[in-house]
Amino acid sequence: MMLSRETLWLLVGFAGQVAFTGRFVLQWLYSEYKKRSVIPTNFWYLSIVGSTLLLAYAIYRQDPVFIAGQAFGSIVYFRNLQLIAKSRSVKE
């Protein structure tokens, strides 16, 4: 079964949205588990996956507002992962 180009891009867009939404679910459940507000490292990885897929979809749709919003977010997500790695290396 072959998917049309439009269907494939809709799947990319929805996959990005699922990953992006999943990060909030992960953060909420993890915070409930810890009984305090916590942002787990996987939150940032889901942010990158979701943002990248949504950026690809936005580029395909040629939506400059959507492109600008998703492009900037990735910088923040990668920086948070750098800060986490740096703090872990200091502790070791």
| pLDDT tens-place string over residues 9-22 | 999 999 999 998 99
| pLDDT tens-place string over residues 33-52 | 999 989 999 999 999 999 99
Contacts with 37 (C-beta within 8 Å, 6 or more apart), sequence order: 31
Mean model confidence pLDDT for the chain: 90
Cα 1 from chain centroid (whole Å)? 29
Which tokens go with 86? 């740096």
Q: Of all helices (H) and strands (E), which one includes residue 91?
A: helix 64-91
| pLDDT tens-place string over residues 79-92 | 999 999 998 887 76
Q: Is the pLDDT of residue 69 over 80?
A: yes
The pLDDT assigned to 92 comes to 66
